Chains A and B, each alone.
Chain A
Amino acid sequence: MCRLIAITSEDPLSPMTAIRALDVMKEGHDGSGVGLFLSDLGGPFQDLNGTPILSGIFTNAGMKRLDSYMMEVGFLTKYKISIKVPKTPPQGVPKRDMYLIRAYEYPEAWEGFREAEIQHRLMSIRLQLRRIGEEHEDMIVFSFWPDVIMIKEIGDPMAVAEYLQLDRPELQAGVMMAQGRQNTNYAINLYACHPFFIQGVATMTNGENTAFVPIREYLMSRGFPGYVGYQSDSEVFTHILHFMLTHLGLGIEAYKHVITPLQDEDLDHHPSGLFLKHLKHTCRRLIIDGPNCVIGSLPDRTLFLVQDRKKLRPGVIGGKPGLYAISSEMCGLDVAIPDRDKNADFQPMYLDTAYIRPDRQEVIICRQTEDLPLQH
């Protein structure tokens, strides 16, 4: 079972905070991968004014291919972190030519584009790079989005972090999510490594989703080009959330109602029963199954934690104003925020959605049986 940690902090922190938390949860991951999502970036990335950042792993040939492609679409490098790694990687970590974190200037031709158009184009470029990379096996692209950095690699999280020198001062983030992977059903593939990302939405999961195939079929048939991949059954959680936020215009409080709707008898007495019944019927193919704990980050940097209907996976949320964390194990939370009020730690049950707004002042709990707030 994978181990998860998500931290949201007023003062940007080094990703090592998350890695150290993963390290104490070590018995739960097997070195088959570590994934890191950073947002609300500090350091030099803070002043980039919403320019998109490309994160990925490249061979030397892939770098050349990337450069010529980006030139072609009119992107110019604005800032980059060059990660120079030691010649010999730690045991279990493959040898790579280049880990890339690079911010680009938008092409001039994009000026005047609407927000939605820009977002769509950014995603299309990421998908195109991914396709080219898969074809030539020389590029792995995790994200291409403003204020987002993603790093994924096979190996023990601490060893990888030291190898990549993630404690460097340029890397600071107010929101971070990290997963130590326990590979289960599928071959070790970096695209199967959590967190998953699409247009500002990121989630990671510990568990299995036995309803994966019908959900994948449903998402892929939405006609939205970003709903591809699915090397992991957990990637659908990200896309379901994205679908709900962007296509349906609903808030995080509705997420549980989509993935694990209430039973009919409960809906009959629910203050938002009519709406929720329609939501349940129309989003029926997005109902998940199997034990899961989903931790995610929204485009506005809200962090959240939900459990599936069966509550068979651990997940705890706690912290103090200005600094909160969500962890799959209590010991991870202890390392991330040792000086919190532990009595206020909360382990959501099958009806709860726990989230921390970007102001980081409190943990908000909403129960599925409560009235659903007005839709966005």
Chain B
Amino acid sequence: MSSDGRLAPSTLSIKDLPWQIHWDKERCTLCGRCTAVCPVNAIGIGVHRQRLVETTLGLTEPPSSVYGVYYSIQQRTDPAYACVGCAMCTLVCPNDCIIPLRSDEVDKLTYHINRGGQPRRRGGRRNVPGGVLDQIKFIRISMLTDPALDAGRHEFELRTLLGRILPPELNLELLRDEGWIPPVREIYPLMIGAMSFGALSPNMWEGLQMGVAYLNEELGMPVRMCTGEGGCPPRLLRSRFLKYVILQIASGYFGWDEIIRAIPEMKEDPCAVEIKYGQGAKPGDGGLLMWYKVSELIAAIRGVPQGVSLPSPPTHQTKYSIEESVAKMIQSMYMAWSFRVPVYPKISGTTTALAVLNNLTRNPYAAALAIDGEDGGTGAAYNVSMNHMGHPIASNIRDCYLNLVKLGKQNEIPLFAGGGVGKSGNLAANAAALIMLGARGVQIGRYIMQAAAGCLGSESDRCNICNIGICPKGITSQDPRLDRRLDPEQVAERVVDVFLSFDIELKKILAPLGRSTSLPIGMSDAIGINDQAAAERLEIKYVV
């Protein structure tokens, strides 16, 4: 632009963008790999006119100017093509000559990602790093009076229960009288939470399923994975591996036509059914699969037309009250499998969680309550929902647990916590903290994408373009040209690595606390925090 030219309001310079591409002309061979790989077309080849001063030897000829041409890798400044910082360019560059660098100040792009009046939508999670879970320390170390255990050699029972547990008196009576006792599953306390076939690429989903199957069948770890709202591939529905799967039903009921039809042919019951009422990343908002990702395969499994956006309503349209939601929906889902499969609701973290919980305690069919905190991830949501809506998981779980203690029902309704577990990489510590606050198990999503498939997203707003099907790692895309970057076998191997290392780390936390015979659910005397207000709120020790 010339100095007397005109500017549009959304005209930005590279300086205004959150990510600036640093390119080294000296080392670049202009091979073009970076421009080819960039998911958002943020860079292209630049052709530049350049004036050069040419001097000759001797005194007879005067120096002269010549105009030449040179080529560069040029960053685009149009907000629609702004660099997302994924650094795929760096990954593919043979000469290490290109890298996106974070701007030294708050970007101006954020004011302009709403063209056409459409606010920003993205994947990922709340763009705030860290959180209270990372601050919780394990302070009750067994010393001398009760010897610490050996994490490597002791026998540990790291299992949890999914399903409604009756009071012991009633349960034993029903057992004697052959009455109906709610189904209960013994599972590993770390679950892969709801990520739909559609939100994830087929390769990613297959990799996760294979990893879960291996953990169960070869390593004896009863790890479970939730389908999310996107149905389940027909072959899996009819395989013995279905027992490792928690089927999710949400307000769009996507994929349930296929599931219901498969019931007579199922060899195994699913582990459980999760009814999604809410999600931590976009609380009070429905699911969203944007049209980019509704491929032929996804459309077939979900029973919808191809290439249309699939927004689930924020609520189940047929339910107008909690009694209905709890009684009607949970019980009818039970009926589908003749009362052999636990059914539980999942809600987003909210101050109204206690009201939900109190209703569940009165319904013997409610198998659990899963709560997804504000740091939960998603494949697609409005930025404002992700960044500003929702309740932190720690205090929500704690309130619910203490409420159950008050009611004497802490063993009856399991609480599962999700949303930002392992956000800073501290998976085992975060999970153990939540368990000691009262969760009976934890669900992860984003973490397993990062650890098992190399997801680049971060809470510093890096990448986070899961919503439009152009995941540069092939994790959340539905484009075979991208998916093929991800090998399902290798994802499966990484899933196994993650769970095995988690298992060791969890033991390394529990053994010094002197716990091995059962999961230390609600062992709040073992944890402390260096924040007086948080300590009071969570009713744990304040330590400095």
Contacts and interface: CB of A to CB of B under 8 A. Distances in A.
B407 interface: yes
B157 interface: yes
A343 interface: no
A274 B166 CA distance: 15
B537 interface: no
B411 interface: yes
A284 B172 contact: no
A263 B409 CA distance: 24
A49 interface: no
A289 B172 contact: no
Contact of B411 (A223, A260, A284): A284
B520 A212 contact: no
Given A218-B405, A284-B518, 19 more contacts: A208-B145, A208-B146, A210-B140, A210-B515, A211-B515, A214-B520, A217-B405, A218-B411, A221-B406, A221-B407, A221-B410, A263-B155, A264-B159, A278-B175, A282-B172, A285-B521, A289-B515, A289-B517, A290-B146
A91 interface: no
Contacts of A274: 175
A213 interface: yes
A213 B181 contact: no
Interface in B369-417: 405-411
B165 interface: yes
B514 interface: yes
Given A208-B145, A282-B167, A290-B146, A217 B172 contact: no
A260 B524 CA distance: 21
B225 interface: no
A248 B168 contact: yes
5 contacts: A208-B514, A248-B169, A285-B521, A289-B520, A290-B146
B147 A282 contact: no
Interface of B: 140, 142, 145-147, 149, 154-155, 157, 159, 161, 165-169, 171-172, 175, 181, 184, 186, 405-411, 513-518, 520-525
Nearest to B166: A282
Contacts of A281: 161, 165, 171, 184
B411 A291 contact: no
A34 to B, nearest CB: 19
B520 A310 contact: no
A211 B517 contact: yes
Interface residues of A, number: 39
A260 B157 CA distance: 11
A184 B175 CA distance: 42
Interface in A113-163: none
Given A221-B407, A282-B171, A213 B522 contact: yes
Interface of chain B: mostly helix, strand, loop or mixed? loop
A281 B518 CA distance: 11
A140 to B, nearest CB: 25
Interface string A244-283: 0001100000000000100110000000001100110111
A264 B147 CA distance: 26
Contact of B142 (A279, A283, A290): A290
A210 B146 contact: yes
A184 B145 contact: yes
Interface of A: 1, 184-185, 207-208, 210-214, 217-218, 221-223, 247-248, 260, 263-264, 274-275, 278-279, 281-285, 287-291, 308-310, 312, 375
Contacts of B184: 281
A218 B522 CA distance: 10
Contacts of B161: 281, 284
A247 B171 CA distance: 12
Nearest to B411: A285
B410 A210 contact: no
A217 B168 CA distance: 16
A185 B405 contact: no
Contact of A279 (B154, B172, B520): B172
B155 to A, nearest CB: 8
Contacts of A260: 517
Nearest to B161: A281
A211 B160 CA distance: 16
A100 B520 CA distance: 41
A375 B175 CA distance: 12
Contacts of B149: 310
Query: Can you list the 10 inter-chain pairs with the closest CB atoms, starting with the nearest?
Result: A208-B146, A221-B408, A210-B514, A282-B168, A287-B518, A214-B522, A184-B145, A213-B525, A282-B171, A285-B411
A292 to B, nearest CB: 9
A279 B167 CA distance: 10
Contact of A211 (B157, B166, B408, B523): B523
A181 to B, nearest CB: 13
Nearest to B515: A289
A312 B169 CA distance: 32
B168 to A, nearest CB: 4
Nearest to B146: A208
Given A217-B522, A218-B411, A221-B410, A288 B175 contact: no
Contacts of A285: 410-411, 521
B2 to A, nearest CB: 73
Contacts of B186: 264
A275 B175 contact: yes
Given A208-B514, A281-B161, A214 B146 contact: no
Given A221-B406, A221-B410, A264-B186, A287 B517 contact: yes
B523 A213 contact: yes
Contacts of B147: 291, 312
Contacts of A213: 522-525
A211 B157 CA distance: 14
Contacts of A210: 140, 142, 146, 513-515, 520, 523
Contacts of B406: 221
A207 B142 CA distance: 12
A13 B26 CA distance: 98
Contacts of B517: 211, 260, 287-289, 308-310
A213 B539 CA distance: 13
B146 A247 contact: no
B90 to A, nearest CB: 48
Contact of A282 (B145, B411, B515, B522): B411
A271 to B, nearest CB: 15
Given A279-B168, A290-B514, A214 B142 contact: no
Nearest to B149: A310
A223 B408 contact: yes
Contact of B518 (A223, A264, A289): A289
Contacts of B525: 212-213
B165 A282 contact: yes
A263 B145 CA distance: 26
Nearest to B145: A184
Contacts of B168: 247-248, 279, 282-283
